[in-house]
Amino acid sequence: MPKQIAIAGPVTQRERLISIDVLRGVAVLGILMMNIQSFAMVGSTYINPTALGDLHGTNYNVWVVTYVLGDMKFMTLFSILFGAGIAMMADRQKSAGRSPAGLHYRRMVWLLVIGLMHAYLIWFGDILVTYAICGMVGYWMRRLPVWMLLAGGLLSISIGSSTSLTAGLTMPDWPESEVVELRESWTPDQEHIDEELAIYRGSWLTQMPHRAHAALGFQTFLFLFVFGWRAGGLMLIGMALYRMDILSAQRTSGFYLSMAMLALPGLAIIIYGVLQNFAHDWAIEYSFFLGSQFNYWGSLLVALGYIGIVMLVCRAGIMSWLTSHLAAAGQMALTCYLMQSVICTLIFYGHGFGLFGYLDRLEQMGVVVVIWIFQLVFAKWWLGRFRFGPMEWVWRSLSYWQRQPMRRSQVS
C-alpha cells in the first residue's frame, strides 16, 4: 500500500497505486466502445440492436463482440474504482490527521456540477451525476466490515435487477398507452427515426430539448430504478476490494489467475442471453426487461475477470509500454471521459461534422480506435509536463479551495 502522507493535499506521483491507474485507464477507454453507439446512432439502437433492421454481416459481428466484451463491463469497472477511490482518499485524509468528510463532499458537489454541465450542454448519457449522488451516500458505508460491503453491494445490485424483473413480469397489466409508448422507443418507426436524425444533425440549440429530456430521464427515473442501485452497489464492492488489497496487485498471481477465470462463466451467461434474445426476436416483452438480466449479472463476473487480468499484467511487469500509457489515461480519467464526449459530438452532431446516423458499426469502431490512440499518446505527453489532467486540476482546485500547482516544475 502507498506510504502514509504527512500533510493533506492531492496525491503525488510516488504515492499512486499504478495498478489502479492502469485499470482506470482500461475502464475509461473501454467505455467509449459502447458509448460511441449513443453518439453516432439513433438512441434505440443501444438497447435494441435490431431497431434499424441493419443487424447483419459485419454490423452483426461488431455488435456481438462489443456487447459481449464491452456492454456494462467497463462501466462496472469504473464504478468499482470510484468506490475504491472514495475509501482511498478517506484513508489518506485520516493519515494526515484531518477529517475526510469536508473534502469528500466538496469533491462530490463539484463532480455533480461538472456532470450536470456535461449532461445538459454536451451529451445526455453522462454518468458523473450518478457517481456524485451515489458517492455522497456510499461514503458513510466505507468503514463497514468487508463482508458487509460485499453483501450490501450485491443487495443493492439485486434491487436494480428486481425492479426490471418486476416491470417485465407485470407488463401485461400495464395501461395500453404505456406499452405503446415503450414499444415506440424500443422499435421506432421511420418518422421517429427521421425526427431524431434531424435533431442531432441540426444546431446545438436544436438538440437542446431532446438532450435535456433524455438527461432528465437518466437522472430521475432510470437513476431511481436501475442506475443508482447498480452504481452504488458496485461502489461498495470497490471499497471491499480496496480493503482486501485486491486492486493494489498485492495478492498472489494464483489468486489473480482464479479471479481472471471468473470471466469465463460470465461470458457464457451473456452469450446465452444473446441467443435467447434472438430466439425471442428481440421482442420488447422479453428482451427489454427479462432478456437484459443475463448481461446485467454476467457483466459483473466479466469485470472481475478483467481486474484479475490487469493485476496479473501489472504484477508481471509485462507490456510496460502499454501499461504506462494506460496509467496516464487512468490518472486523467475525468479529462479523457469528457474529452470523448466533446470529440464525438463534434464528429457526429450538427454543430460539428454532422455524421450522426451515417457511419455503420464497423466505421464507428474505427473512430473509437483513433480516439484511443490519441488519448493514450496525449495523456502520456501531458503528464510528462503537468501534475494533473486539465479537468482533474479544475476539480482538485475547487475541492481543496486552493489553486493547485499545475506544472511539474512548480513542485519541489
pLDDT at residue 411 in the model: 52
CA torsion, ordered 283, 288, 294, 297, to nearest 10 deg: 180
Taking the C-alpha atoms of residue 338 and residue 107, their distance in angstroms, rounded to an integer, is 17
**Alpha helices (H) in 170-220, listed in sequence order:** 176-186, 190-200, 204-217
Q: Which of 17-21, 203-207, 258-262 has the lowest mean pLDDT?
A: 17-21
Phi, psi of 196 (to 5 degrees): -70, -40
Indicate whether 14 pLDDT > 70: no
Average pLDDT on 26-33 reads: 97
pLDDT at residue 3 in the model: 35
pLDDT at residue 11 in the model: 45
How many distinct structural domains can be found in the chain? 1
Q: What is the pLDDT of residues 74-88, one digit of tens each?
A: 999 999 999 999 999
* Cβ pair 186, 51 in contact under 8 A: yes
Whether 355 is in a domain gets the answer: yes
19, amino acid identity? S
Whether 220 is in a domain gets the answer: yes
Which structural domain range is residue 260 located in? 13-382
Average pLDDT on 47-60 reads: 90
pLDDT at residue 247 in the model: 95
Q: Model confidence at 151, in pLDDT bands (50, 70, 90)?
A: very high
Whether 389 is in a domain gets the answer: no
Indicate whether 12 pLDDT > 70: no
Indicate whether 10 pLDDT > 50: no
Q: What is the pLDDT of residues 232-271, one digit of tens each?
A: 999 999 999 999 999 999 999 999 999 999 999 999 999 9
Whether 388 is in a domain gets the answer: no
Residues 113-140: b if buried by 16+ CB within 10 A, e if exposed:
ebbbebbbebbbbbbbbbbbbbbbebbe
The proportion of the chain whose per-residue pLDDT surpasses 90, expressed as a percent, equals: 83
pLDDT at residue 130 in the model: 97
Whether 240 is in a domain gets the answer: yes
Q: Model confidence at 97, in pLDDT bands (50, 70, 90)?
A: confident
Whether 254 is in a domain gets the answer: yes
Which cell is 360 given? 455503420
* Cβ pair 362, 58 in contact under 8 A: yes
**Complete DSSP assignment for 19-69:** HHHHHHHHHHHHHHHHHHHHHHS-THHHH-TTTTS--SHHHHHHHHHHHHH
Query: pTM for this structure?
Result: 0.93
Whether 392 is in a domain gets the answer: no
Whether 6 is in a domain gets the answer: no
Average of per-residue pLDDT values in the chain: 92
Residue with cell 426487461: 289
pLDDT at residue 98 in the model: 83
